[in-house]
Amino acid sequence: KVHNFLGLTVGCIVHGITKEERLNSYRSDITYGTNNEFGFDYLRDNMVIHKEDMVQRDLNFCIIDEVDSILIDEARTPLIISGEGEKSTDLYEMAN
């Protein structure tokens, strides 16, 4: 209610939302989310071919709750995006 009173929009980034919902959340004045969601969105944005496919925008400020947990306890857990390749590796084997 306070945010609405001040005329601020609020979004929330959670696992499982659609790309459109994710875009709308990032377009909000205030965006809530977990460090993993922000981290994976950053990684995915760096994998896109077209800039308009990116979901994050320029961010000005960040308030982190329980920063010691994120920077110390979760620092040993890397954020990794992996998946099956889109093209067959047979071509690489033939070239070798």
- Predicted local confidence at residue 86, as pLDDT: 67
Q: What is the pLDDT of residues 67-79, one digit of tens each?
A: 888 888 887 888 8
Region 16-33 average pLDDT = 94
Q: What is the pTM of this model?
A: 0.76
Q: How confident is the model at residue 13 (pLDDT cuts 50, 70, 90)?
A: very high
Question: What integer pLDDT is reported at residue 96 of this predicted model?
Answer: 59
Mean pLDDT computed over every residue of the chain: 87
Q: What is the DSSP string of 12-81?
A: EE-TT--HHHHHHHHHSSEEEE-HHHHHHHHHHHTT-SSGGG-----------TTHHIIIIISTTS----
**Ramachandran category for residue 56: left, alpha or beta (phi over 0 → left; psi -120 to 50 → alpha):** beta
Q: What is the pLDDT of residue 85?
A: 66
Share of the chain above pLDDT 90, in %: 47
